[in-house]
Structure 1
């Protein structure tokens, strides 16, 4: 646990303006098939979404950043240099912190890996297996944030007004929630090993 308490977890997530994407299945009586509550309206403007970047560690939530454009290697490197490094140096001044990222293409780009090598004394990049969402604790944190977000967003909200409820949902996550996620890491690893890399309950 002392190791996992020194990990900074990172991920990006997409928040939809309207939450019903694709097909939604409901139970209904036959005579209610045309009832308004059993139907979904068409969005002429296509709805839309907002991409945000966030991180957390044992003691606190980190920054939540609205990503204006597609998260490519250049954008990601800017976030790492301007957001991650200062926080890592502040939280782990001895350079004994670990930074977790998955294997998305922008994470493994040459310019990003080269930057990490140049700053390897500031913190350690945690080695991470590919396609392993059940090991990434922040995936479950996003679930909590999105549940809180859905309770805050009125139906009449437009895309430009999403930032405030997203940040509000992020900030109201209690510390015990993300500490429980960190505490689950030994169990997650044991489950993945037992499943020999297959799916787990996480």
Structure 2
């Protein structure tokens, strides 16, 4: 499991987490990326781990996001990009995988981040025009 966050002008370090990461493991503490940047607004997918009371008690600003909505979070594209880059030279074990993920995370350019964040208006417009149906995003 890994945790990282991005914005148009910033990306946090990628944190590798051994085992499952759930609301119990959070123990009322925001992940390191949110601790370092308390002014960030978290956009998440409404997974149970993200919506648990212990997460709400952390006083983290969360973007309102409707249930069963299209997944338009730009970080999904970052995960996909990282996955494709890591698979180009497949790691042989967990340690190599962790190292490759951290390395590729660090290789994501500021231009790529800005482009993804700036594409949000087009993504939202596409979903609205498709009345929630399939889009190219």
Q: Shared topology, TM-score over 0.5?
A: yes
Q: In the alignment, is the contact (CA less than 8 A) between 1:54 and 1:64 conserved in 2?
A: yes
Say whether 1:84 aligns with 2:33: yes
Q: In the alignment, is the contact (CA less than 8 A) between 2:28 and 2:57 conserved in 1?
A: no
* 1:9-60 deviations in Å (ceiling 9; x for gaps): xxxxxxxxxxxxxxxxxxxxxxxxxxxxxxxxxxxxxxxxxx2111111112
Residue 151 of structure 1 deviates from its aligned partner by 2.3
Closer/same/farther in 2, CA of residues 159 and 133 from structure 1, 3 Å limit? farther
Residue 79 of structure 1 deviates from its aligned partner by 6.0
Say whether 1:176 aligns with 2:111: yes
Tell me which residue corresponds to 1:68.
Answer: 18
Residue 105 of structure 1 deviates from its aligned partner by 0.5
Say whether 1:199 aligns with 2:128: no
Say whether 1:189 aligns with 2:124: yes
Comparing 167-176 and 67-76, the one that deviates more: 67-76
Secondary structure of the residue that 1:140 maps to in structure 2? helix
Tell me which residue corresponds to 2:53.
Answer: 110
Secondary structure of the residue that 1:196 maps to in structure 2? coil
Number of corresponding residues: 137
Separation in structure 2 between the aligned mates of residue 105 and residue 180 of structure 1, nearest angstrom:
30
* 1:132-165 deviations in Å (ceiling 9; x for gaps): 45311111111111111122435xx222332111
Residue 67 of structure 1 deviates from its aligned partner by 1.8
Residue 182 of structure 1 deviates from its aligned partner by 0.3
Query: TM (normalized to structure 2)?
Result: 0.86
Separation in structure 2 between the aligned mates of residue 197 and residue 76 of structure 1, nearest angstrom:
33
Tell me which residue corresponds to 1:40.
Answer: none
Secondary structure of the residue that 2:49 maps to in structure 1? coil
Which ranges of structure 2 fall in alignment gaps of 5 or more residues? none
Residue 172 of structure 1 deviates from its aligned partner by 0.7
RMSD (CA atoms): 2.1
Residue 78 of structure 1 deviates from its aligned partner by 5.8
Separation in structure 2 between the aligned mates of residue 98 and residue 160 of structure 1, nearest angstrom:
31
